[in-house]
Amino acid sequence: MAIRSRRRVSVLYAPGTNTEAETLEAFRLAGGDPRLVFLRDLYEGKERITDCDCFVVPGGFSYGDYPDTGVAVAEFLGDQFPLLVERGIPVIGICNGMQALVRAGLFGSGLAMTENESGVFSSRPIRHRVLVSDCLWTRGLEGSIFTFPSAHRYGKLVGHGKRNVVMVYEGQSPNGSEEAAICNDNGLAMALMDHPERPPSSPASLAIFRNGLMAAL
């Protein structure tokens, strides 16, 4: 199915973000019209977080990869992330972006990211199985197994809050958890710990990001 028009995609850039180039290219290849949006501009009101059709919090180590990683972005924009869902704008958080969105409470209370059980940084290809869910980002992909890389040290999802699990690790987990991706209650926002945008032309990247673009209003 062809995308009706090129959707505007805002890719957040914060100090330490390091996958913005791959993310921009991946959304371009998927049929979107991506651009960088700087955290400072959002914080200072020069940009509005809702001036887009899709919003992406990409990977990297914004303000460091440590137990509270993602806290600065979450504190700056935690009150703005819900505006995206209220406006019906699809949201995706990748790696450090997942940490920021979880910290901001976009997936409910009682959830947190903690250190990998191995205690070390994981950087290797990982297999992911897509589950049946209401997540718009994985619509029609149920049962698919995608391989894309991990790149994190604090990637284990913990807590007693409700989890809407979208993907699980197929085989070895890079962090000790089975859960690789989650979504919010209406399926509009998804967060995953690993990197489908590496490389930008990967089957996982094109399939997942095209779904997000197709769902954009």
| Residues acting as catalytic residues | 95, 195, 197
Assess contact for 122 and 143: CB atoms under 8 A.
Answer: no
Of the candidates 161, 198, 197, 202, the one whose C-alpha atom is nearest the C-alpha of residue 182 is 161
Q: Is the dihedral of CA 132, 157, 117, 199 positive or negative?
A: positive
Beta-carbon contacts of 25 under 8 Å, excluding residues fewer than 6 positions away, are 197, 200
| Cβ-based neighbour number of residue 119 at 10 Å | 8
Query: By CB neighbour count within 10 A (0-12 exposed, 13-18 middle, 19+ buried), where does 134 fall?
Result: middle
